[in-house]
Chains A and B, each alone.
Chain A
Amino acid sequence: MFQPLNSAAQLGYRTVFNLFEWPMARAQRLVGIRRVAWLFLLPNLLIFGLFTFLPIILNVFYATTGSDAILLSQRPYVGAENFSSLLSCTDYLDPNSCRRDVFWRAVYNTGWFVVLQVGFMVLFSLITALILNRDIPLKGFFRGVFFYPVLLSPVVVALIWKWILQRYGVFNAGLEGMGFASVDWLTDADWAFFWIIFVSIWAHMGFYTLILLAGLQSIPSDVYEAAEMDGASRWRVFAKITMPLLMPTMVVVLVLSLIRAVQAFDEIFVLTGGGPGSATTLILQYIYETGFASRPQLFGLAAAASILMAVVLLVLTLLQLRATRSQAEG
């Protein structure tokens, strides 16, 4: 609603306007009114070019050159050797048979992680959204509670859970207090994998719950009333009304969470460091460690792996674009 500004605010606005008046007028005179738009875009284009576009180009050069030299001029051209090195396996189902076994282990870990994390997270988000969409007491409070972890920095999330799960952490202290034996939550391969999935679901679920909740609320209530008059059972209302009408939102949530799961890194890196061994090493961590943390630094290999990952993400992103477009049209 329009509210008349008080005189102090008006004065403030006018001062700011006057401040921009002169340089704006001058810029327009110099380059013409239409080209001023480019002037506004320039800073962003520069930043984008320098920090996004240029690295992408450089990445291709690194992926097709060898040695551990960092300057491109000192790196010999090797063609697709980095890619073939990454992709050479005698049995693709057995990482140990691959030349780059850690890469393949990371690929498999990421695959499992994506399937389980996305699957369960979407399922739990859906259930939570369905519950929060009903008339329950303290609805606002619970909506806040489920969204809260999304606001935390990933490192904070990981540190909180590390504090809970480590050998002498809160969880084990609790278990021992109740007379149970403590468990190596983060140093047992299976448990560690379970916990990286659990923690990343905990950290991101609120976001998808919120999207699904918005999707649920966009379903008109009169459709439900019509179904009630039509004598549909609760299950039939869910299966025949809610789910089909929520589908466009579900597709967006699925693709979005898939993309983010493929990119998972920070929480897991801080929580388990990829261990024990390489049990929780995901593809992004492999790239980081190959390119920067290991000696020698295999820039070429890391660049090639990141290009392979980019291809996967590109496919997922295109899917997402299609999904959002069909939702906008639907």
Chain B
Amino acid sequence: MAVVELQNLVKDYAGFRAIHGVDLTIDDGEFCVFVGPSGCGKSTLLRMIAGLESITGGELRIDGTRVNEQRAAERGLAMVFQTYALYPHMTVRENLAFGLENIKTPKDEIKKRVDDAARMLQIEEHLTRRPKQLSGGQRQRVAIGRAVVREPKVFLFDEPLSNLDAELRVVMRGEISQLHRRLGNTMIYVTHDQVEAMTMADKIVVLKAGLIQQVGSPLDLYNRPANQFVAGFIGSPRMNFMQMTVAEIRNDAILLKDDEGRSFEAAVSPEGVAAGDTVTVGVRPEHLEIGTERGRPVTVETIEQLGGESYLYCQDQSGRPITVHLSGQTRIKAGEEAKVFLPAEAVHVFKEDGAALERLRIGEAA
């Protein structure tokens, strides 16, 4: 059980700043996910917390105690690595017991804890095997088991599922979430996969170039992305973006005009913009309405019918790609002309610096 606090945490490599002063509090028992594109510093940040990377500046506290100078093992954390990092020459039992032997845990206590963890992770029958004899999923379980037996204050996961195939990833995702519910420990999880982030996290931290972009619950991030980067990163398929001009400011909305002169209403707070400003409008593919009556005319280029849902990849008259996501099936065929409508409640508006305008009528969208 532990609160992890990051205060203005900085990491410099020779002549290069990887982490630019991160402030973050991860509450006791919280499942916190660091997400972001490759090179955003999420793994570095995790390794700084773990004690595998030194901290250049700022303070890291676990349960109120500064741990910057403590060695990895003294911080009371356990880590699951992307590559599993199992000891290849040891059996599964030896792998699980190694950490406990290091701190001179009594033999019968080690046996009990290893057996308990093995039972929980369903790897009992593999205890005498070597990692090489195990499948990817089993290895992953052993890696998690190695963390579990140490009964750490905080679990750290560094992209633990990225070496597994898609099906197994879904299974292991569920198992890690279940583990969190059962143990109730604080967990910090790094991934570049936004689906993992959305499905597992209590709190998501979106990082880009060593800077926190936004911290929030999965739905917060989905509904109220703080900026264009977060909006584009969270949600799949990606949010549609198009440039527009602010035509008119109203009390509870702004009126936008696209390059073809059509007007749209957006239910956002007008704070920080004035008529004539260029803004970026974003609409999620699932919030677009496609039909024949209202909206901007598009050509449907490709359709992916998955049975339960459909993806329509369209192009508007200026050649801009627009993706539409429909639940269920559609009669529209590739090559057909259609019209795409942007509901005012579903529209996100980003200023020129990328910051989002506050949305006013969330939940009313289709």
Q: Answer whether A and B are interacting partners.
A: yes
> Which of the residues A223, A229, A232, A236 comes within 8 Å of B52, measured between beta carbons?
A229
A233 interface residue (CB < 8 Å to B): yes
Determine if A222 and B98 form an interchain contact, defined as CB atoms under 8 angstroms apart: no
Which residues of the other chain, A, contact B335 by a CB distance below 8 angstroms? none
A140 interface residue (CB < 8 Å to B): no
Determine if A223 and B103 form an interchain contact, defined as CB atoms under 8 angstroms apart: no
| Binding-face segment, A47-55, A89-97, A237-245 | A237-245
> Which of the residues A226, A232, A240 comes within 8 Å of B79, measured between beta carbons?
A226
| Binding-face segment, B83-91, B183-191, B242-250 | B83-91
Which residues of the other chain, B, contact A240 by a CB distance below 8 angstroms? 87, 98
For this complex, 17 residue pairs linking A to B, each with C-beta atoms less than 8 Å apart, are A222-B81, A225-B85, A226-B81, A226-B85, A226-B87, A228-B51, A229-B50, A229-B78, A229-B99, A230-B102, A231-B72, A231-B73, A231-B74, A232-B73, A233-B102, A241-B87, A244-B89
Which residues of the other chain, A, contact B85 by a CB distance below 8 angstroms? 220, 222-223, 225-226
For the residues of B in contact with A, the DSSP-based class is loop
Query: Which residues in window 65-83 of B have CB below 8 A to A?
Result: 71-74, 77-79, 81-83
Taking each of A222, A229, A233, A245, which has the highest tally of chain B beta carbons within 10 Å of its own beta carbon? A229
- Complex CA gap A223/B51 in Å reads 15
New contact pairs (7) apart from A220-B85, A223-B88, CB-CB < 8 Å: A223-B87, A225-B85, A229-B77, A230-B98, A230-B146, A232-B98, A245-B88
- Complex CA gap A233/B74 in Å reads 12
- Complex CA gap A220/B131 in Å reads 14
- Complex CA gap A232/B102 in Å reads 5
Interface size on A, residues (CB 8 A): 17
> Which of the residues B73, B87, B88, B150 comes within 8 Å of A228, measured between beta carbons?
B73
Q: Which residue of A is nearest B50, CB measured?
A: A229
- Complex CA gap A113/B81 in Å reads 47
- Residue interface bits B91-111, CB-to-A below 8 A is 1, else 0: 000000011001100000000
Which residues of the other chain, A, contact B51 by a CB distance below 8 angstroms? 228-229
Query: A-B pairs with the 3 shortest C-beta distances?
Result: A231-B73, A230-B99, A222-B85
Which residues of the other chain, B, contact A222 by a CB distance below 8 angstroms? 81-83, 85
> Which of the residues B52, B77, B99, B150 comes within 8 Å of A225, measured between beta carbons?
B52
Which residues of the other chain, A, contact B71 by a CB distance below 8 angstroms? 228
Which residues of the other chain, A, contact B87 by a CB distance below 8 angstroms? 223, 226-227, 240-241
Q: Which residue of A is nearest B52, CB measured?
A: A225
A226-B87, A230-B146 given; A236·B78 CB < 8 A:
no
Query: Which residues in window 96-135 of B have CB below 8 A to A?
Result: 98-99, 102-103
Which residues of the other chain, A, contact B83 by a CB distance below 8 angstroms? 220, 222
Query: Which residues in window 208-229 of A have CB below 8 A to B?
Result: 220, 222-223, 225-229
Which residues of the other chain, A, contact B99 by a CB distance below 8 angstroms? 229-232
Determine if B73 and A229 form an interchain contact, defined as CB atoms under 8 angstroms apart: yes
User: What is the minimal beta-carbon distance from A243 to any residue of chain B, in angstroms?
Assistant: 10
User: What is the minimal beta-carbon distance from A124 to any residue of chain B, in angstroms?
Assistant: 25
Q: Which residue of A is nearest B47, CB measured?
A: A225
Which residues of the other chain, B, contact A231 by a CB distance below 8 angstroms? 72-74, 99, 102-103
Q: Which residue of A is nearest B132, CB measured?
A: A330
- Complex CA gap A42/B59 in Å reads 73
Which residues of the other chain, B, contact A241 by a CB distance below 8 angstroms? 87
Q: Which residue of B is nearest A222, CB measured?
A: B85
Which residues of the other chain, A, contact B81 by a CB distance below 8 angstroms? 222, 225-226
User: What is the minimal beta-carbon distance from A229 to any residue of chain B, in angstroms?
Assistant: 5
Which residues of the other chain, B, contact A233 by a CB distance below 8 angstroms? 102
- Complex CA gap A225/B89 in Å reads 16
User: What is the minimal beta-carbon distance from B202 to any residue of chain A, in angstroms?
Assistant: 24
Which residues of the other chain, A, contact B82 by a CB distance below 8 angstroms? 222
- Complex CA gap A240/B95 in Å reads 11
Determine if A228 and B72 form an interchain contact, defined as CB atoms under 8 angstroms apart: yes
- Complex CA gap A222/B87 in Å reads 10
Query: Which residues in window 142-174 of A have CB below 8 A to B?
Result: none
Which residues of the other chain, B, contact A225 by a CB distance below 8 angstroms? 52, 79, 81, 85
Which residues of the other chain, B, contact A226 by a CB distance below 8 angstroms? 79, 81, 85-87, 146
- Complex CA gap A13/B78 in Å reads 60
- Residue interface bits A230-258, CB-to-B below 8 A is 1, else 0: 11110010001100110000000000000
- Complex CA gap A233/B102 in Å reads 7
- Complex CA gap A245/B71 in Å reads 24
Q: Which residue of B is nearest A221, CB measured?
A: B85
Which residues of the other chain, B, contact A228 by a CB distance below 8 angstroms? 51-52, 71-73
- Complex CA gap A227/B103 in Å reads 12
Determine if B103 and A245 form an interchain contact, defined as CB atoms under 8 angstroms apart: no
User: What is the minimal beta-carbon distance from B346 to any residue of chain A, in angstroms?
Assistant: 44
Which residues of the other chain, A, contact B89 by a CB distance below 8 angstroms? 244-245
Which residues of the other chain, A, contact B78 by a CB distance below 8 angstroms? 229
- Complex CA gap A254/B236 in Å reads 57
Determine if A229 and B102 form an interchain contact, defined as CB atoms under 8 angstroms apart: no
Q: Which residue of A is nearest B77, CB measured?
A: A229
- Complex CA gap A233/B98 in Å reads 11
- Complex CA gap A236/B98 in Å reads 10
Q: Which residue of A is nearest B73, CB measured?
A: A231
- Complex CA gap A265/B78 in Å reads 55
- Complex CA gap A236/B90 in Å reads 14
